[in-house]
Chains A and B, each alone.
Chain A
Amino acid sequence: MLKKIILYFHQKLWRTLFLVCAGVLFAVTLSSIINIESVNLLKQKVALPLQVIYAALIGFIAPGPRYILYPILIKLYEFGINLGVIVALISGHVLIEPSTVLVEAGFFGYRFPIKRFVVSFIVTFLAGMVSSVLGSYVW
């Protein structure tokens, strides 16, 4: 049993680490472009509900595994971006991806992923807006 567990852990670790390292490289490269001025400009020019909508949509189309977003989120957090935007980005990134839409359409028919996309978008937006109100209690 122990041998089985170690083998499973070993196989999963190296495969995941390769993907995570590639993802982190992409994330830190992308976060190098983000600076405090652009974040401040975004906060001033774009209203909060629209920021949450953009975050959810960027999350939906963002490529890569779940963990790659964290370096970008840390930078946004340090620059004082609203919690609602961070929650919308995390939730949007994982709920629907272009590749899973195709997989789900193949398994369940095209209506299932379309409805799931709409539902996920509404739920992510609501979660983002609730989080923006509760931000000061959570941090």
Chain B
Amino acid sequence: MVKRLKKAGADIKIAFLLIALSIVIMLVCKLNFLSILTINKAIIFKIIYLTGFAIAISTAIHFLIPEDLAEKHLKDNKLIHLFYATLLGVLTPGPVYAIYPIVLELRRKGVGSAILVAYLTGQTIIGPARAPFEIGLFGWKFYLYRILLALMMGPLAGVLFIAFSKVWPDREIRNP
């Protein structure tokens, strides 16, 4: 069992950690497991079926958006490219770990760090898979507001990264 857990991916290990933390909180705070489930059953069911929708959306995008789209449209640290990078990040589905290989490849091909920061900010802050959750739980207005906010936060993060890099430049990455 321990050997199988060691071989499991990071997501499975995190899931077990979260289950263990939940048990600790229940024991420390003397909470009843069944009453927690009963009180929150509506939100639990809602999140489970919204997860199904979210996976369907990210599957569709995985097959519709070409893998080299980011590489084609991100060249240098201009503000418009920071905006494109954020927009592409917003459209890229999946967990952040899944996009690190793309980010590393972009870096090796000479894409600037500020562009990568804008891309990572857009990708993590909002995404198509979040739509069912945020629209379902908080409404359309909230989700649209979050998209607008993300499109401003990405370029701003890129600009701030450029400013910081003038004081403290990045280390050179050697190509393997």
Contacts and interface: CB of A to CB of B under 8 A. Distances in A.
Interface of A: 4-5, 8-9, 12-13, 15-26, 28-33, 63-68, 70-71, 73-74, 77, 87, 90-91, 94-95, 97, 99-100, 103-104, 107-112, 115-116, 118-120, 122-124, 126-127, 130-131, 134, 138-139
A13 B55 contact: yes
Mostly, the A contact residues are: helix
A95 B125 contact: yes
A91 B36 CA distance: 27
Contacts, number: 180
**Nearest 5 CB-CB pairings of A with B:** A109-B171, A22-B15, A26-B18, A28-B40, A94-B124
Interface of B is mostly: helix
Interface in B144-170: 145-146, 149, 152-153, 156-157, 160-161, 164-165, 168-170
A123 B160 contact: yes
A81 to B, nearest CB: 13
Interface residues of B, number: 67
Contact of B59 (A12, A87, A134): A12
A94 to B, nearest CB: 4
A67 B141 CA distance: 19
Interface of B: 10-12, 14-19, 21-22, 25-26, 29, 31, 36-37, 39-40, 43-44, 47-48, 51-52, 54-56, 58-59, 62-63, 95-97, 100, 103-104, 107, 113, 117, 120-121, 124-125, 130, 133, 137-138, 141-142, 145-146, 149, 152-153, 156-157, 160-161, 164-165, 168-171, 173
A9 B168 contact: no
Given A26-B21, A29-B31, A127-B153, 20 more contacts: A12-B59, A19-B14, A19-B15, A23-B15, A26-B18, A33-B29, A63-B14, A67-B51, A74-B137, A90-B125, A99-B10, A107-B107, A108-B113, A109-B171, A111-B171, A116-B157, A116-B161, A118-B164, A123-B153, A123-B160
A87 B149 contact: yes
A11 B124 CA distance: 22
Contact of B55 (A9, A22, A111): A9
Contacts of A74: 43, 137
